[in-house]
Amino acid sequence: MLTEADRYIYAGRLLNYLGKPDKAVEMFTAGLEVAPDDARLWRHRGHRYITIRRYEEAVTDLRRAAELIEGTPDEHEFWQPETEQDIVNLVLGREDLLHPQHLPVTPETVAQTRGSYKGTLHGSVFYHLAIAHYLLGQFEEALDAFRRGDEVSVDDDMRVANADWIYMTLRRLGRDEEAAAVIAPFDTDAVSVNPEEDFYLQRLRMYKGQVSPEELLASGGDSGLGFTTQGYGVGNWYLCSGDTQRAATVFRDVVTRGAKQAFAYMAAEADLARL
């Protein structure tokens, strides 16, 4: 049986998929009037505040979500492909076919959902909180949140993504030896990540010297998500290596040709403003 909070979450996510993140924020806000203590609504509204560049409000929402999940069991959180399928089934009155709304994270459920593009509620709260702090240039706070998210990672996709951002954040803090130690344990040929979303893994390979910045940038194509993600990684690499001019050039390319809703695009925007 779906709760009112469940329905507001589906509606808000649908609005975002339709390219209306501002309307999604309004929907999640309406949901919070009904279920003010549902951490998922705070998590999703915080995420969409990031999308519309309202980073301070994102931090506020995601901190509230972090308070609400404290001491609670983690649960799986399905992403767009599974959620779109759920929305179709919901419209058709097939609620019995929906993914579970509060599927607990256990070794058994992790194995059962292998192959789905997913995260967890706790992981998403801390990941997006960290992103919001990072975009505000609050790198110490970002580092703490990324590390808390990494503690609840359930698969290599999450571990690699967190390792990438932790590495970049430590580099921004000038803690290069710690950054190197974070990625040292990763065997980039052995980890299992979604082949369509392996951008972070490719960036780890650059950090480890397995590919050059130029090779990584070329691998992302001329535009789109791959170009945006790899472009920001390369620009950040140049910036942390002291080559501000090359970093700014790459960041400008990202904001000219990249995918505007990607976190990497927002990070390039923010770094250009600081430069």
Give Cα separations from 109 to 118, 120, 127, 156, 228 (angstroms).
12, 11, 21, 16, 33
Give Cα separations from 12 to 83, 90, 141, 152 (angstroms).
11, 14, 28, 25
pLDDT at 195: 58
In a domain, 46, yes or no: yes
Are the beta carbons of 15 and 24 closer than 8 angstroms?
Answer: yes
Are the beta carbons of 269 and 250 closer than 8 angstroms?
Answer: no
Give the pLDDT confidence of 230-267 residue by residue, as tens digits: 999 999 999 999 999 999 999 999 999 999 999 999 99
CATH of the domain at 30: 1.25.40.10
In this prediction, what percent of the chain has a pLDDT beyond 90? 82
Quote the domain boundaries for residue 4: 1-98
pLDDT at 197: 61
In a domain, 83, yes or no: yes
Which long-range CB contacts under 8 A does 135-141 form with residues at least 24 apart?
135/50, 135/55, 135/263, 135/266, 135/267, 135/270, 136/55, 136/56, 136/59, 136/270, 137/270, 137/274, 139/169, 139/172, 139/173, 140/173
Q: What is the average pLDDT score of the chain?
A: 93
In a domain, 222, yes or no: no
pTM for this predicted structure: 0.95
**CA–CA gap between residue 268 and residue 274 (Å, rounded):** 10
In a domain, 134, yes or no: no
Give the pLDDT confidence of 6-24 residue by residue, as tens digits: 999 999 999 999 999 999 9
Is the pLDDT at 117 greater than 70? The verdict is: no
Is the pLDDT at 155 greater than 90? The verdict is: no
Is the pLDDT at 196 greater than 90? The verdict is: no
Q: Residues with Cβ < 8 Å from 120, sequence gap 6 or more?
A: 74, 75, 76, 77, 105, 152, 154, 158
Is the pLDDT at 74 greater than 70? The verdict is: yes
In a domain, 18, yes or no: yes
**CA–CA gap between residue 9 and residue 17 (Å, rounded):** 12
Are the beta carbons of 60 and 132 closer than 8 angstroms?
Answer: no
* 3-state secondary structure (DSSP) of residue 252: helix
Q: How many domains would you assign to the chain? A: 1
Q: Cβ atoms within 10 A of the Cβ of 142, count?
A: 24
Neighbour-count burial of 204, counting CB atoms closer than 10 A to its CB (0-12 exposed, 13-18 middle, 19+ buried): buried
In a domain, 26, yes or no: yes
In a domain, 120, yes or no: no
Q: If we measure between CA atoms, which residue out of 153, 164, 144, 170 comes closest to residue 62?
A: 144
In a domain, 167, yes or no: no
